[in-house]
Structure 1
Amino acid sequence: MLPTVEKDAGVSLLSRIPSAAYVLNWIFFSTIVILFNKKIISDWGFPYPVLLTCWHLIFATVLTQILARTSTILDGRKTVRMTGKVYFRAIVPIGVLYSLSLVCSNLTYLYLSVAFIQMLKAAAPASVLFVGYAFGTDKYDLKVLLNICAIVFGVGLASYGEIDFSLIGFMYQLGGLIFESIRLIMVQKLLTGKADDPNSYKMDPLVSLYYYAPVCAVMNVIVALFVEMPTFKMADLVQLGPWILIANASAAFLLNVASVFLIGKTSSLVLTLCGVIKNVGIVVLSVILWGTIVSGLQWLGYSIASAGLVYYSLGYEGIKNACLQGQTMWESRGMKYRGNNLTVIVAGGVITTFLLFAWWSSGSAAPPV
């Protein structure tokens, strides 16, 4: 259940946010998190992606617990039929897969450019489809398979055109896609049951994070103890500084909050198109910020993959409807939020301002201490 809203005649101007603002907010935080992680891991001398992921999850665990006790944003958890048996049979495996996906995704930043990573992510639908075939949740469809083949061809073309190709980085990204695909299929099997099935329930993204974050944090701590702690240097942490870590974790958490508000205001159709637009924007930013060289063959391959992704997700009629819905959305007014939800939005604005200031003042290879 998504956060509900009350209609109040005395609502403030801040609560009358246009729908388009939620889209821009989600794109902004999604882009910031990707670029921020890349900056920390590759440029600011903190090559510990597992520890960074662990920090994100600990931060998310603490904040979701606070929000659950001080706001109504996580009231959806009250409708979830959660038992110890369900938690260990469903939530723990999903949480472990989620953790592995995050770790692999962050490890990729050590070996590949941001632009190339976004191109590889276009293959996500293919990964989900093949995992769905293996789990029996998707039925064979020649038309869908051909469309997926077009996406894979585009990604393959982009990979072939990559100048600084790294097999290790490619395998980490592939592993991240596979782990995430299995997680999504497990969630699908968990959530798509009969009405009288005690294991069938629906959780919004923040409620999911409320349940997954603790087990993911524990999993990452265990991994970090064996993988990164033996080579960890406290000097690297001191050089990075606490404010950068807090800002980074806040951005990651606010991305989850932004997704909740966005899902409440739009549909999956618009969200799919926004994701493609965001990825293209990140590729362009990677070229600007890091001087990443993107070959013509890569642009061609990524264009084919993106077009195939949009068509696979929406279909011809869906694309038409999404365009019409997007036009209406830009002209509409946002929902009216209660005071405690406005607090989250205001906090997001403060963190956003801090992030922009930190990013602007960090032109050197090391972050401000």
Structure 2
Amino acid sequence: MGRLFTVGLISVWYSSNIGVIILNKYLLSNYGFRYPIFLTLCHMLACSLLSYASITWLKIVPLQTIRSGQQLLKISALGLIFCSSIVAGNVSLKYLPVSFNQAIGATTPFFTAVFAYLMTLKKEGFLTYAALVPVVSGVVVASGGEPSFHLFGFIMCVGATAARALKTVLQGILLSSEGEKLHSMNLLMYMAPVAVAFLLPTALIMEKDVVGITIALAKDDKRFLFYLLFNASLSYLVNLTNFLVTKHTSALTLQVLGNAKGAVAVVLSILIFRNPVSFTGMLGYSVTVTGVILYNEAKKRSK
């Protein structure tokens, strides 16, 4: 039963991860709801409400309180970087196919290594840095062979990837002391409202009439409201299952599954959206994924 539960948990994690990416793409590009900031706001609202319910009512993890104003400032900084990465990622999906988006996203280890060195002077072994060469070169190859390449979308996707890496490094620095260390689910519960406070005025100013347009779309097509609510709930489920899979397996298992998840997302997006893919593009993505696998293996051996 324990093994069956773990397999089921991994299946839900896979489905929610891939589902939220594909549904984001469908809403922002194919459905025509071109409001990535408001969509991110819906995600953060869901994370705020469902995180609170999971911790205070369902007792998934013990509730931790914020201990100081300084800690709150640190969490707020992380929250802004967190929501910026999601907004940039959603904006990129308006212009890029999911397959290319995932190829760029796979370069997260490169940015993590760069920020870790710049901010903590932490050095990795030669093999670890060597593995980053195919990670980056694969995206260069994929960019040259991508039929749907869009410069602005590419810049936003790279920015989203870099912001995710920066958030990971900063989280390790800012909340590493025993007095300030927060569980990942508690951290999400406190970061999400910060993101909501930032995104609400931003969406109202930059995406004019988005509330009225959303209400009108919901009246005209009942499925739209379902898509929006389901999409927002999936965004929280990604974070919840991410924690649960790590708890019931290991961080290394999550890394391996994450590598495979990107490949599955690419295949499904091509089948669903029928976006053109060149041999050069697939070759570049394959090189990047191989580099990520080698990077994780080098990191594991260096420990």
Q: Aligned partner of 2:80: which letter?
A: V
SS across alignment from 1:38: helix
Task: Kindly provide the CA deviation profile for residues 286-312 of structure 1, in whole angstroms up to 9, marking residues without a partner as x.
Answer: 111111221111121111111110110
Structure 1 residue 274 displacement after superposition: 0.6
Deviates more, 1:215-224 or 1:225-234: 225-234
Task: Kindly provide the CA deviation profile for residues 188-231 of structure 1, in whole angstroms up to 9, marking residues without a partner as x.
Answer: 102334x5xx33x1412x22211111001111112212211256
Structure 1 residue 137 displacement after superposition: 4.6
- Match for residue 203 of structure 1? 183
Contact kept, 8 Å, 1:137 with 1:189, in 2: the verdict is no
Query: Within 2, Cα distance between the matches of 1:147 and 1:167?
Result: 26
Query: Within 1, Cα distance between the matches of 2:300 and 2:131?
Result: 16
Q: Aligned partner of 2:233: which letter?
A: S
- Match for residue 348 of structure 1? none
Asked if residue 30 in structure 1 is aligned to residue 17 in structure 2, the reply is yes
- Match for residue 206 of structure 2? 227
Query: Within 2, Cα distance between the matches of 1:224 and 1:231?
Result: 8
Query: Within 1, Cα distance between the matches of 2:54 and 2:13?
Result: 20
Contact kept, 8 Å, 1:45 with 1:236, in 2: the verdict is no
Structure 1 residue 181 displacement after superposition: 1.6
- Compute the RMSD of aligned alpha carbons: 2.1
Query: Within 1, Cα distance between the matches of 2:270 and 2:52?
Result: 39
Query: Within 2, Cα distance between the matches of 1:137 and 1:74?
Result: 33
Q: Which runs of 4+ in 1 moved over 6 A?
A: none
Asked if residue 186 in structure 1 is aligned to residue 170 in structure 2, the reply is yes
Match of 2:140 among 130, 148, 156: 156
Query: Within 2, Cα distance between the matches of 1:279 and 1:133?
Result: 26
Contact kept, 8 Å, 1:42 with 1:110, in 2: the verdict is yes
Q: Aligned partner of 1:224: which letter?
A: A
Cα distance 1:316–1:113, how it changes in 2: closer, same or farther (>3 A)? Answer: same
Cα distance 1:231–1:192, how it changes in 2: closer, same or farther (>3 A)? Answer: closer
Query: Within 2, Cα distance between the matches of 1:83 and 1:237?
Result: 42
Q: Which one has a larger percent helix, Structure 1 or Structure 2?
A: 2
- Match for residue 159 of structure 2? 175
SS across alignment from 1:253: helix
Contact kept, 8 Å, 1:36 with 1:248, in 2: the verdict is yes
Match of 1:216 among 174, 195, 204: 195
Match of 1:53 among 21, 34, 40: 40
Q: Aligned partner of 1:208: which letter?
A: L
- The normalised TM-score by structure 1 is 0.75
Q: Aligned partner of 1:222: which letter?
A: P
What are the ranges of 5 or more consecutive residues in structure 1 without an aligned counterpart? 1-12, 319-369
Query: Within 1, Cα distance between the matches of 2:202 and 2:286?
Result: 37
Cα distance 1:16–1:134, how it changes in 2: closer, same or farther (>3 A)? Answer: closer
Identical residues among aligned pairs (%): 26
SS across alignment from 1:293: coil
What are the ranges of 5 or more consecutive residues in structure 2 without an aligned counterpart? none
- Match for residue 29 of structure 2? 42
Query: Within 2, Cα distance between the matches of 1:302 and 1:315?
Result: 20
Query: Within 1, Cα distance between the matches of 2:218 and 2:34?
Result: 10
- The normalised TM-score by structure 2 is 0.91
Asked if residue 132 in structure 1 is aligned to residue 153 in structure 2, the reply is no
Cα distance 1:218–1:237, how it changes in 2: closer, same or farther (>3 A)? Answer: farther
Structure 1 residue 67 displacement after superposition: 2.8
Structure 1 residue 142 displacement after superposition: 3.5
